[in-house]
């Protein structure tokens, strides 16, 4: 199955803005991880970017997952891009 890399950006004041949505966000990611579609995801140390790796049928599936996330719906993530990834090692 194809793998996809997602890069995105966080809003300003991310720590404050994410607080009301954090548990729903983490619960959704845990469900994605358990289903096998999410391999890994997390922020950069400076909390400006988010990086994730997904394994899905197609890019549209990954777009749907990202856009259903509470962080996207509530402006915590401000933009993102998805690229199909070839894992060499």
pLDDT band at 10 (very low <50, low <70, confident <90, very high): very high
pTM: 0.93
Candidates 11, 13, 6; CA nearest to 71 is 11
pLDDT tens sequence across 30-59: 999 999 999 999 999 999 999 999 999 999
For residues 48-77, give the mean pLDDT: 98
């Amino acid at each position: 199955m194809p793998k996809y890399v997602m890069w995105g950006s966080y809003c300003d004041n991310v720590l404050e803005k994410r607080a009301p949505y954090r548990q729903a966000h983490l619960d959704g990611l845990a469900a994605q991880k358990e289903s096998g579609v999410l391999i890994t995801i997390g922020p950069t140390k400076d909390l400006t970017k988010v990086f994730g790796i997904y394994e899905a049928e197609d890019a549209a599936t990954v777009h749907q997952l990202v856009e259903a996330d509470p962080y996207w719906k509530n402006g915590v993530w401000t933009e993102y891009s998805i690229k199909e990834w070839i894992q060499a090692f």
